[in-house]
Amino acid sequence: MKTIKSLFASFSLKAEFAARRGKLYRIAYSWCHDPALADDLVQETIYKAIKNASGLRDVGTLDSWLYRILYNCWHDHLRVKDRNVEFVEMHDNKQVDQPENYHQSQIVRRVRSAVEQLPLQLREVVTLADFGGFSYAQIAEITGVPVGTVMSRLYRARQNLKQQLLAFGTDEKSEFKLRRVK
């Protein structure tokens, strides 16, 4: 009976990991800007999570635990390759004929470019907070830094993004203006 329960728990946990794969991929991609590398990081994360599933004490902390594994895999990759993150210019291959969709894609392109230009530590924190939806405490647990450091990095990242995007909105060449929204 115990074997059946553990087998059921194992399948249930694997389903939980699979359900979070898309979100893990988006965060990994925002860090590395390489689809193949992001996929590799997610696969390695899920592999390590399945392998070490017995180490998870509370299912309520599953997200933080998974993202901590992803964070460690990312930093392992950087250590092994002994290199810094390369900035890759992103192109929108899906050219849309409708002007409003074109303008929206230009804004999305500009935001992505602004996030790519952030230093790695700021980019990690802002993507976990704004793309991943994690709290300060969860980000501190994932990145292994104090909550105050998370807060200051997030503040600096958002200020940097704000300056970049407001400068873009006031550009004379820009056909549209960005507006502040509270």
Residue 11 pLDDT more than 80?
no
Residue 21 and residue 47 in contact, taking contact as beta carbons nearer than 8 Å:
no
Provide the pLDDT for residue 153: 92
pLDDT digits (tens, 9 = 90+) for 40-65: 999 999 889 888 887 777 777 888 88
d(CA 141, CA 181): 31
Q: What is the mean pLDDT of residues 107-115?
A: 82
Q: Give residue limits of the domains in the chain.
A: 1-86, 92-182
pLDDT band at 96 (very low <50, low <70, confident <90, very high): very low
Provide the pLDDT for residue 87: 46
Percent of the chain with pLDDT over 70: 75
d(CA 143, CA 77): 15
Residue 165 and residue 119 in contact, taking contact as beta carbons nearer than 8 Å:
no
Provide the pLDDT for residue 151: 93
Single-letter residue type at 176: F
Q: What is the mean pLDDT of residues 91-102?
A: 57
Q: In this structure, which topology does domain 92-182 adopt according to CATH?
A: Arc Repressor Mutant, subunit A (1.10.10)
Position with higher pLDDT, 86 vs 68 = 68
Provide the pLDDT for residue 53: 80
Position with higher pLDDT, 57 vs 11 = 57
Q: What is the mean pLDDT of residues 2-28?
A: 72
Q: In this structure, which topology does domain 1-86 adopt according to CATH?
A: Rna Polymerase Sigma Factor; Chain: A (1.10.1740)
Percent of the chain with pLDDT over 90: 20
**Helix 21-32 and helix 2-19, axial crossing angle in degrees, nearest 10:** 50
Residue 80 pLDDT more than 70?
yes
What is the pTM (predicted TM-score) of this model? 0.62
Position with higher pLDDT, 141 vs 1 = 141
Provide the pLDDT for residue 41: 93
